[in-house]
Amino acid sequence: MKNILTFVIITFFLFTQKQGNAQIDEDKLGAWYMYFFNTTFKESSWGVQGDMQYRNWNIAGDLEQLLLRGGITYQPKNVAVKLTLGYGNITTGSYGTDNSTSASSRIYQEVLFPVQFGNRIYTNHRFRFEQRFVENQNFRTRYRYNLFLNIALNKAAMEDKTLYLALYNELFINGQRNIGNGNSVEIFDRNRSYAALGYMIKKGLKIQLGVMRQTTNNWGKNQLQFSFHQKI
């Protein structure tokens, strides 16, 4: 009996140690480095957009995700709305010293429409529907809603050399709970809240530096974000 008890205690200790090492350090600041671009084909309603994001669990070196995404856009004439059909490829890393990665890809449809209040306040509503193909999981879908808010600070409108406040909040909702192999997820996937200072270098060229708080069912973590936004 004593030997069995000793075995159980040792096994439990080893298991909890292993689990503890895999846990995300919520107090460690992560960092995402991002580039966004978009363009239209001359006077056409059609265009392209995309982004490249290098996401780290820490400031640099511990890969969280490498995301490459692009899409075809369509903006009807005389209507303040943009439609996108796109594709993304994601390499996801493991937290800590584990260097293993997993792959996923997704197709997405997006509706973006701006609402402006006066000259200083600019908002964008983005609705996105994703069809996700995640390694070793069933086909999945996800719904996303993002509210963006930009407020010009040192000028009466967003123009060259404008310093501005950038805020957003994005909610993620899973379309399915069963993800295969006896595993399941909650309907609520995650929420991202962001605050930053931005600077419009010139028309079509902006930079932002801020912090995003990402919250899931299992953890919450702050991420430093540096982003470069270009309209080509």
The CATH number covering residue 50 comes to 2.40.160.40
Please report the pLDDT score of residue 19 as a whole number.
38
Whether residue 12 is contained in a domain is answered as no
Please report the pLDDT score of residue 93 as a whole number.
94
Please report the pLDDT score of residue 212 as a whole number.
98
pLDDT surpasses 70 at 23: yes
pLDDT surpasses 60 at 15: no
**pLDDT (tens digit per residue) in 127-156:** 999 999 999 999 999 999 999 999 999 999
53-62: average pLDDT: 96
**pLDDT (tens digit per residue) in 148-193:** 999 999 999 999 999 999 999 999 999 999 999 999 999 999 999 9
Whether residue 7 is contained in a domain is answered as no
Segments forming the whole domain that contains residue 121: 29-231
Please report the pLDDT score of residue 7 as a whole number.
47
pTM: 0.88
- CA dihedral of residues 151, 157, 163, 164 (deg, nearest 10): 10
Please report the pLDDT score of residue 43 as a whole number.
86
73-89: average pLDDT: 96
Whether residue 8 is contained in a domain is answered as no
- Give me the phi and psi of 20, to 5 degrees please: -65, -40
Whether residue 220 is contained in a domain is answered as yes
Please report the pLDDT score of residue 169 as a whole number.
98
Whether residue 197 is contained in a domain is answered as yes
Whether residue 11 is contained in a domain is answered as no
Whether residue 218 is contained in a domain is answered as yes
Whether residue 10 is contained in a domain is answered as no
What is the tally of structural domains in the chain?
1
Please report the pLDDT score of residue 3 as a whole number.
54
Confidence class for position 103, pLDDT limits 50, 70, 90 = very high
Could you give the percent of the chain with pLDDT greater than 70? Answer: 91
